[in-house]
Amino acid sequence: MISFAWPWLLLLLPLPFLVYWLPKKDNNRTSAALIMPQLIDSSSVNVMTPTSKKTPLAMLVLCWSLLVLALSQPQWLGDAVDIPTEGREMMIAVDLSGSMQIEDMSLHGSTVNRLDMLKVVLGDFIERRVGDRLGLILFGDDAYMQTPMTFDRKTVKQMLDESVLGLVGRKTAIGDAIALAVKRFDAKQKSNKVLLLLTDGQNTAGKVSPEQALELAIAKDITIYSIGIGADVMLQQSLFGTRRVNPSSELDEQTLTKLAEQTNGKYFRAKDSQGMSQIYQLLDQLEPIEQDQQQMRPLTALFYLPLAAALLISMLYLIIINFPRFSRN
């Protein structure tokens, strides 16, 4: 809808009519008569007829109306848009070590590796976190900030989808991932700080140990929710036939549980895509999305439209009143 910033200025619209209807000064006195010199041929003077006077007068009135309209600051009031409130910061740390390529996960009836399953299920979770500032950390031999804290969930999901195995090495630097998250959280003080740590192994690389990183997280009041990924049983083909193996034998559940419990978080075990989905639903309950969303209605200034129209009409008016002079020349 259209609104006006200064609607009271529209009261100036009838001003030309008030001036036009003011009492005229009596100019019929003989002393005020103008004597035209005979050197001027009065027959050559262009005298506008009452009909020809109406067009310029109407143009002036229209030009005045457009100028007043522009002064009143017309603006287009757009539809209401939700704006993020002060909710929580959630950093997501994803393991890209070599073991994430193990194909022990079932997704939509197909067997896929751990990373492919994580992208699909975690992507749905990211899309639901309306109002939260999300960040993405990828870790292997080292930890890297892939996406800084942002309300742009679409970008975070895109960066997750574009991640590939081996991008940051083949090992697992859990301590570095936590320490990097703590460093990024420190820039914002007033928020619920949550770290979602997803891994399928144990700390085998990095400059910071998980114990040292845990102390940093506790000092900065960061809640860690750790998720151990991997099935318990996997059928493996060999020269001697099919045998059952445990593909998650290297998963350090003890450390992951300690990281979560000592930061008032919780440890989860994801053995398949269905279990992963249930974990994210539980996280939605433990860390609910902010419900009190603020709204704003964007304003678009429109004053330049009547202003431009008034300029064009004034130029056209000058052409009309000067046209007879040009035609005589």
**Above 60 in pLDDT, residue 17?**
yes
Tokens at 236, concatenated: 């493996």
Q: Is the dihedral of CA 164, 169, 173, 176 positive or negative?
A: negative
Q: What is the pTM of this model?
A: 0.62
Q: List pLDDT tens digits, range 45-57.
A: 444 555 455 667 7
Q: How far apart are CA 290 and CA 85, in angstroms?
A: 8
DSSP element (H, E) containing 128: helix 114-128
Residue from 154, 142, 54 nearest 96 by CA: 142
What's the pLDDT band for 190 if we cut at 50, 70, 90? low
Q: What percent of the chain has pLDDT over 90?
A: 31
**pLDDT at res. 44:** 46
- 193, β-bridge pairs: 89
What's the pLDDT band for 39 if we cut at 50, 70, 90? very low
Q: How far apart are CA 92 and CA 178, in angstroms?
A: 10
Question: Checking DSSP bridges between strand 192-199 and strand 88-95, what pairing results, if any?
Answer: parallel
Mean pLDDT rounded to a whole number for the chain: 81
Q: CB-hemisphere CA count at 13 Å for 258?
A: 12
Q: By the 8 A CB rule, do 10 and 4 touch?
A: yes
Tokens at 37, concatenated: 């010199």
* Average pLDDT rounded to a whole number, residues 99-127: 88
Looking at residue 234, what DSSP letter applies? E
Q: How far is CA 145 from CA 131, 132, 168, 178, 179, in A?
A: 21, 18, 11, 11, 11
* Average pLDDT rounded to a whole number, residues 93-122: 88
Q: How far apart are CA 209 and CA 18, in angstroms?
A: 84
Domains recognised in the chain with CATH numbers: 2-24+47-78+298-328 (no CATH), 85-286 (3.40.50.410)
